[in-house]
Amino acid sequence: MPDTATDIDPRLLEILVCPLTKGPLSYDRTRHELLSAQAGLAYPVRDGIPIMLVDEARSLSDDEKAALAGKA
Amino acid sequence: MSTSQNTYTAAHYGPRAQDYVTSKDHSTGEDLDQIEAELRGANLSRALDLGCGGGHVSYRAAPHVGSVVACDVTQDMLDIVIKEAARRGLNNITVEKAAAENLPFPDGAFDAVLSRFTTHHWPDMEAGLRQARRVLKQGGRAMFIDVFAPAERVLDTHLQTVELLRDVSHVRNYAMAEWLAALARSGFAVERLSTRKMRMEFPAWVARTRTPEPHVSAIRSLQQGAPAIVTDYFAIGPDGSFNLDATTFIAHAQ
């Protein structure tokens, strides 16, 4: 079950794209991260607030990139 | 460079976030009335409050639009906007941390972009304006409100200097000609603009930014030694209070 107190607002999720590539994002509910396959970055969601800054994003590992590519 | 300036600004504004919710200079003003007048009855679906700060634009806009997305680079401002929106019962405001120069929205996502007293902080003003245009629908409404610099160089230099001394994250107040050229180049058609004088009460003005004492003294020294053209134009008072020029641009996306 997603934690509603810290989960991202679904209305926001609808319109967010990667700030770097403007490509789509997929939401990892368990880790509270928005994943950009094109940029290879994970943007954290803290207390329900998406942190859409490249500076604060985490680089995806090769395994994570492969897993994302597999889903696409 | 641009991101580090945003981080610098965020670090600078974080501890002072609450002051911007309660600041009378920020929470009231005819420009907020202008925003409401522009949105009321326009039946717009989604608005972006770009560089939301204490969230005053969002609170005014929310009753008149379907939803508001408020973004800023300062986390503490966003935390406060969430709390304040809830306290006011405005449940159509969502917040996110984003920089104007790299907006995380698809093209044409918004019916309106509203931006108040924030462009002077952007590391790259024109990149921010281009992004604002990109995320707007064709014909979408835009309102940009900010301090602007006088055309005379000596006045401009005085203004930028006292602004930087007061707030080390200050980037630039643009002159009217710079604003109009940048808006046109970024794809905005300006329909109307208005200007007004805002009286800055010196003690409150430096208290809000927690300006360190040596900088306060430097500002006072500059003011006291300024030529008549400067003291007259800014109407610098005995305590350092003075007038700032603010402008509102009402435009649409071409």
On whether the CB atoms of residues B31 and B248 are closer than 8 A, the answer is yes
**Which chain B residues have a beta carbon less than 8 Å from that of A55?**
3-4, 6-7
Q: Of all residues in chain B, what percent carry a pLDDT higher than 70?
A: 99
Residue B164 domain flag:
no
Please name the residues in contact with B49: beta carbons below 8 A apart, sequence gap of 6 or more.
B55, B57, B58, B61, B68, B69, B70, B71, B114, B115
Q: Taking the C-alpha atoms of B78, B79, B81 and B87 in order, what is their torsion angle to the nearest 10 degrees?
A: 170
Residue B116 domain flag:
yes
User: What sign does the dihedral B4-A59-A32-A52 (CA atoms) show?
Assistant: positive
Q: Which of A5-9, B5-9, B181-185 has the lowest mean pLDDT?
A: A5-9
Which residue in chain A is spatially nearest to B66 when comparing CA positions?
A: A11
Report the C-alpha gap between B89 and B105 in whole angstroms: 26
On whether the CB atoms of residues A18 and A39 are closer than 8 A, the answer is yes
Q: Which of A4-8, A51-55, B187-191 has the lowest mean pLDDT?
A: A4-8
Residue B237 domain flag:
no
**Which chain A residues have a beta carbon less than 8 Å from that of B123?**
none
Q: In a mutagenesis test of the B interface, which of A6, A33, A49 is the best target, namely the one with the most B β-carbons within 10 Å?
A: A49
- Measure CB to CB from residue B3 to each of A17, A22, A53 and give the nearest one: A53
Q: Taking the C-alpha atoms of B62, A52, B114 and A9 in order, what is their torsion angle to the nearest 10 degrees?
A: -10
Report the C-alpha gap between B3 and B5 in whole angstroms: 5
Token output for B50:
């770009």
Residue B102 domain flag:
yes
pLDDT digits (tens, 9 = 90+) for A26-43: 999 999 999 999 999 999
pLDDT at A1 over 60: no
pLDDT at B19 over 50: yes
ipTM of the complex: 0.87
Report the C-alpha gap between B67 and B89 in whole angstroms: 13
The reported pLDDT for the residue numbered B12 is 76
Token output for A50:
């998406």
Is B138 part of the contact surface with chain A (CB cutoff 8 Å)? no
Query: Could B98 and A53 be called an inter-chain contact, meaning their C-beta atoms sit closer than 8 Å?
Result: yes
Identify any residues that bridge with B238 across adjacent strands, giving them in sequence order.
Answer: none
Element holding A71 (H helix, E strand): helix A62-71
Domain ranges of chain A: 10-71
Is A50 part of the contact surface with chain B (CB cutoff 8 Å)? yes
For chain A, state the CA radius of gyration: 12
Half-sphere exposure of A38 (CA within 13 A, CB side): 9
Place of tokens 């409050």: B49
pLDDT digits (tens, 9 = 90+) for B219-229: 999 999 999 99
Task: Give B155 or A47, the one with higher predicted confidence.
Answer: B155
Query: Could A12 and B94 be called an inter-chain contact, meaning their C-beta atoms sit closer than 8 Å?
Result: yes
For chain B, state the CA radius of gyration: 18
The reported pLDDT for the residue numbered B5 is 78
Residue B204 domain flag:
no
| Residue B49: DSSP 8-state | E
Identify any residues that bridge with B21 across adjacent strands, giving them in sequence order.
Answer: none
Give the CATH number of the domain where residue B34 resides. Answer: 3.40.50.150
pLDDT at B2 over 70: no
On whether the CB atoms of residues B55 and B78 are closer than 8 A, the answer is no
Is A19 part of the contact surface with chain B (CB cutoff 8 Å)? yes
Report the C-alpha gap between B34 and B195 in whole angstroms: 12
- Considering the four listed CATH numbers 2.102.10.10, 1.10.1060.10, 2.20.25.10, 3.40.50.300, the one that applies to the domain covering A10-71 is 2.20.25.10
pLDDT at B1 over 70: no
pLDDT digits (tens, 9 = 90+) for B236-252: 999 999 999 999 999 99
Question: Once rounded to an integer, what is the mean pLDDT over residues B53-61?
Answer: 96
Report the C-alpha gap between B10 and A42 in whole angstroms: 21
Domain containing residue B39 = 2-147+171-197+244-253
Question: Once rounded to an integer, what is the mean pLDDT over residues B75-103?
Answer: 96
Q: In a mutagenesis test of the A interface, which of B81, B82, B97, B103 is the best target, namely the one with the most A β-carbons within 10 Å?
A: B97
The total of structural domains in chain B comes to 1
